[in-house]
A and B are shown apart, each in its own frame.
Chain A
Amino acid sequence: MEQKSSAAAVGGDYKYGFVTDIETDTVPKGLNEDIIRMISAKKNEPEWMLEYRLKAFRHWQTMEEPTWANVQYPKIDFQDIIYYSAPKKNAEGPKTLDELDPELLKTFERLGIPLSEQKRISGVAVDAVFDSVSVGTTHKDTLAKHGVIFCSISEAMHTHGDLVRKYLGSVVPISDNFYAALNAAVFTDGSFVYVPKGVTCPIDLSTYFRINASETGQFERTLVIADEGSFVNYLEGCTAPQRDENQLHAAVVELIALDHAEIKYSTVQNWYTGDKEGRGGIYNFVTKRGKCAGRESKISWTQVESGSAITWKYPSCVLLGEGSQGAFYSVALTHDYMQADTGTKMIHVGKNTKSTIISKGISTGHSKNSYRGQVKIMPSAEGARNYSQCDSMLVGDKSSANTYPYIEVKNSTAVLEHEASTSRISEDQLFYLQSRGLDTEQAISMLVQGFCKDVFKQLPLEFSVEAVKLIEMKLENSVG
């Protein structure tokens, strides 16, 4: 009998790899102040927005691309990217959903996100972002009744300019890092959420990001503000066509939770990963940060990172408010030649702030999977607590896992616990499951799901089911 090797390629078929044939309105390739002015003009932005962009661009020009992450890729030529591409009919901003280009409706339906009135998903409001623009948002009326604002950020600039102006860049300033500065200069769309005082958002909010056009980068910006005592559950999904070239996705997400507010932010990231030889795929260089500005406020990031050729992403929390809490729950699965360097930062500023980090990395094939996390306790953070657990699982013998924990404590009353482990799926574990009738793929999938359970249970139910299916599909060919 020949034992199948568990080191072979993983991946399965990427069923979201199709391209939508649609007329687009694009700007010329490359990046300079004229391009930024052009984008701003296309979006008919207020003057302060253009100023913000130009300031960011000027700052970006002084910055260097970061090289500290444990990922390798050829230098990106930022002049070889198209910074704006929108479906033509929609260039002036979204109209009613039923008036959308049928091609777009079809695309989102194929992705499992029906947008039209009759077909829309009942329990979730969706903002659909296609390349550079939001093409539509569902359930707006229901939300409006509760005073919840959920729309594209471009729309919000006009309708709620004061809020956007007040909070944009308040968590991730333009100077924060290279990709955040780039995003601030060229971001084209994204979602805007405002949940008023004391309101529990009646349905989940969700943004679905789709990259379609070639040679185009997607730079979206999401801003979520939870006012005092409010609650919102926010979900995010993403896919892109299968192409041989790499495409850049550099998003910025900012969350603000005021007194006693809570934001739960979940992501299932399934950008195209590249093929089995490592050709193509999305470079996912994302800055996500939440500010627990108010007392007893809570922000949690839950992510299932299963896509992209390269992931560089550290959803973080700044815990300012007294007794505020931050959490990061992550599953990162890499296969073939994928590279992921992901983790979190928990910055404790307020008294009695608490943070929890649970990270599960699974590497298969030739992939590299790194956890990088920072826990920082500032002198003011009396009584701060952190619990971190970072586990890595290796499948096969050509993959690698790394853990880089950085801990900085400037207040002696802080209590920190850190646990870490690296395991390989053992022959005995696999054999045990096989001897109960599970084939190798089923067995690995079961072991991986067990490994990820603490994170999956943080996801909203439907999302959790999706995540399990996604991981199963990704592992399908892991043992061919």
Chain B
Amino acid sequence: MEKDMAQTLLEIRDLHASVEGKHVLKGLNLTIRPGEVHAIMGPNGSGKSTLSKVIAGHPAYEVTAGSVRYEINFQMRDLLEMEPDVRAKEGIFLAFQYPIEVPGVSNIAFLRTSFNAILKHQGSQELDETQFAEFVNKKLEIVKMDPRFLDRPVNVGFSGGEKKRNEILQMAVLSPRVAFLDETDSGLDIDALRIVADGVNRLRTKDNAIVLVTHYQRLLDYVVPDFVHVLADGRIVETGDKSLAVTLEARGYDWLVK
């Protein structure tokens, strides 16, 4: 029992959540262990994005029942009690489906503030501008981003693909323990998709876990998941391996959604 607990990173039990009075998640169960990649697929409105937002702590989403527990220093802690920034500091990351623009704030200043907030939380020495510039330059290569992106205001005037790559850059800088990637593949052309997928693969370690929330199977050709879950009407209705994604691509969701 103790050992099992230590091996669980995130445990979602009977999770119910609503947004704007609408009941979206209706008893979702999911257990995530270190080193795993999960894909969550499902039709529009099934609750995929809601799950990501609830995990990251978006204030508009209300948890009405169930629990989300997260391992911190070998102890399972109540994630839902934590403020969004504390979740981030403890290693939860959400790559946004629609990354937000922050006018007037340079990408590098944003990344450094974020990185230092996490270092500070961990009791580590924060990096100064020079140290951080050196650190971030190495990360740029992971998503093949030009250094000039660092001086541009966060996401302002970025193309759809640039915004998504920027999310993965943030992930690379922050090295989260559990990363939810909310439709990171949507709106990407094939080259951008490869870059993003390659970046994700390089950030995959035996200690962290990645949850890919996606509509399409094509991302899973590049980032091969250990588990594929089908979310329908706020619940996981089917779990399988990579082959389930292929089946879904061929047959759609109807055969699972009654």
Shortest Cβ distance from A436 into B: residue: B114
Cα(A439)–Cα(B89), bound, Å: 10
Residues of A within 8 A of B114 (CB): 433, 436-438
Residues of A within 8 A of B208 (CB): none
Q: Are A1 and B105 in contact (CB under 8 A)?
A: no
Cα(A119)–Cα(B85), bound, Å: 42
Q: Are B88 and A434 in contact (CB under 8 A)?
A: yes
A:428-444 near B, CB below 8 Å:
428-429, 431-440, 442-443
User: Which residue of the partner chain, among A435, A440, A452, contacts B56 with CB atoms under 8 Å?
Assistant: A435
CB of A52 within 8 Å of the partner chain:
no
CB of B58 within 8 Å of the partner chain:
yes
Cα(A450)–Cα(B114), bound, Å: 15
Cα(A437)–Cα(B117), bound, Å: 6
Residues of A within 8 A of B121 (CB): 437
CB of A3 within 8 Å of the partner chain:
yes
Known: A1-B81, A434-B85, A452-B104. A442 touches B113 (CB 8 A): yes
Q: Are A432 and B117 in contact (CB under 8 A)?
A: no
Cα(A139)–Cα(B100), bound, Å: 49
CB of B57 within 8 Å of the partner chain:
yes
CB of A454 within 8 Å of the partner chain:
yes
| A150 shortest CB reach to chain B, Å | 35
B:24-79 near A, CB below 8 Å:
56-60, 63
Cα(A233)–Cα(B94), bound, Å: 47
B:80-118 near A, CB below 8 Å:
80-85, 87-89, 93-94, 96, 99-100, 102-105, 110, 113-115, 117-118
User: Which residue of the partner chain, among A429, A436, A442, A449, contacts B104 with CB atoms under 8 Å?
Assistant: A449
Cα(A175)–Cα(B170), bound, Å: 59
Residues of B within 8 A of A446 (CB): 102, 105, 110, 113
Cα(A427)–Cα(B60), bound, Å: 8
Shortest Cβ distance from A451 into B: residue: B104
CB of A453 within 8 Å of the partner chain:
yes
Residues of A within 8 A of B63 (CB): 1
CB of B174 within 8 Å of the partner chain:
yes
| A411 shortest CB reach to chain B, Å | 34
CB of B153 within 8 Å of the partner chain:
yes
Cα(A220)–Cα(B29), bound, Å: 70
CB of A447 within 8 Å of the partner chain:
yes
What's the tally of chain B residues with a CB closer than 8 Å to chain A? 34
Residues of B within 8 A of A429 (CB): 100, 102
What's the tally of chain A residues with a CB closer than 8 Å to chain B? 26
Shortest Cβ distance from A452 into B: residue: B104
Q: Are B58 and A437 in contact (CB under 8 A)?
A: no
Known: A435-B94, A436-B110, A438-B85. A3 touches B104 (CB 8 A): no
Q: Are A450 and B57 in contact (CB under 8 A)?
A: no
Q: Are A1 and B89 in contact (CB under 8 A)?
A: no
Known: A1-B81, A439-B83. A432 touches B102 (CB 8 A): yes
Residues of B within 8 A of A453 (CB): 103-105
Residues of B within 8 A of A427 (CB): 58-60
Cα(A427)–Cα(B53), bound, Å: 13
A:443-471 near B, CB below 8 Å:
443, 446-447, 449-454
Chain B 173-185: CB-based contact to A (< 8 A → 1; otherwise 0): 0100000000000
Q: Are A431 and B104 in contact (CB under 8 A)?
A: no
A:340-386 near B, CB below 8 Å:
none
Residues of A within 8 A of B87 (CB): 435
| B94 shortest CB reach to chain A, Å | 5
Residues of A within 8 A of B153 (CB): 450
Residues of A within 8 A of B99 (CB): 432
Residues of B within 8 A of A439 (CB): 83, 85, 117
Known: A437-B114, A446-B113. A431 touches B102 (CB 8 A): no
Q: Are B80 and A1 in contact (CB under 8 A)?
A: yes
The residue among A429, A435, A437, A450 with the most chain B CB atoms within 10 A of its own CB is: A437
User: Which A residues form the contact surface with B (CB < 8 A)?
Assistant: 1, 3-4, 427-429, 431-440, 442-443, 446-447, 449-454
Write 7 A-B pairs (CB below 8 A) sorted by A numbering.
A1-B57, A432-B102, A433-B110, A435-B84, A435-B85, A435-B87, A442-B113
User: Which B residues form the contact surface with A (CB < 8 A)?
Assistant: 56-60, 63, 80-85, 87-89, 93-94, 96, 99-100, 102-105, 110, 113-115, 117-118, 121, 153, 170, 174
Closest 7 CB pairs of A and B: A450-B104, A453-B104, A3-B59, A450-B105, A432-B100, A434-B84, A437-B88
7 A-B pairs besides A436-B114, A437-B174, A453-B105 with CB distance below 8 A are A428-B100, A435-B94, A435-B96, A436-B110, A437-B85, A446-B113, A450-B103
